[in-house]
Amino acid sequence: MSFRTTKPIHQFIKITNPVRTLVVCVFFLLLNGCSSTLDLFHVYADLDNIRQSIERSGNPVNNEIRLQNAVKLCTKEEDKACLSAAHQYYGHLYRSKRVIAEQDYYLKNGFLEPNVTYENKFHYSAKHFEKAINFLDSTKEHEAIALLYIQLSLSYYLIADAAKECDALDKSLVFHFKAYPNDDISVEKVPLSFERLSDFIAHQKQRAGCEKFITQD
């Protein structure tokens, strides 16, 4: 399978549940000083720092160590929103400019996550975005899921898997209309210079050569 070199659009999805969880964490921490609550508070804060670090091309090895720790703690606490955010950031990490710039290091040493290599990093980026979506499946976070499917499609674009790219774009549009039946998502959340997310998705589907387009019922 050939690999793309075009830079993907990195859009970090902000999920509302983590914000609410932080407020609840602080409340219960003040009430009973629960250590697990404090740990969860710290992991959410660290996840936000990791997001900023990836955006600023920070140290990828350090970010991966922190993400591994975050996944362990989120799993221990059975916090799906936390796990979704951690896997989302993992997906971005493997596509980041800094990882690509450190090609020689990763060709020699690989990644901390088992079986991940420089050559297959985009495949694992897709797997992490899939996990991020799966952890939100039982929620009403339709907007977040729609935007995560766009990120998943971009990972499939980078590994030149047009069929899976188109499927992710189809699902993104479905969840987008669940969140915004009138297609009126804030323009700030729409990639590039498009005014509507549906127009961006249609553009991506046309570029990818998708056979059909989903339209609103």
Q: Taking residues 3-17, what's their average pLDDT?
A: 50
Please check the confidence at residue 7 and state whether its pLDDT lies above 70: no
What is the C-alpha separation between 144 and 15, in angstroms, rounded? 6
CA distances 139 to 17, 27, 165, 182, Å, are 9, 23, 23, 21
Please check the confidence at residue 24 and state whether its pLDDT lies above 50: no
pLDDT digit string, tens, across residues 25-46: 444 444 444 455 678 888 999 9
Name the pLDDT band for 142 (thresholds 50, 70, 90).
Answer: very high
Give start and end residues of each alpha helix (H) in the chain.
16-32, 35-55, 60-77, 80-95, 97-101, 103-109, 121-134, 142-158, 162-179, 197-208
Place of tokens 């549009």: 173
Q: What is the reported pTM? A: 0.84
pLDDT value, residue 14: 55
What is the C-alpha separation between 90 and 82, in angstroms, rounded? 12
Name the pLDDT band for 83 (thresholds 50, 70, 90).
Answer: very high
3 state DSSP class of 142: helix
Please check the confidence at residue 92 and state whether its pLDDT lies above 70: yes
- DSSP 8-state code for residue 29: H
Q: Do 181 and 149 meet the contact criterion of CB atoms below 8 Å apart?
A: no
Name the pLDDT band for 217 (thresholds 50, 70, 90).
Answer: very low
**Mean pLDDT across the chain, nearest whole number?**
85
Q: Cα dihedral angle (162, 163, 168, 173), rounded to 10 degrees?
A: 90
Please check the confidence at residue 68 and state whether its pLDDT lies above 60: yes
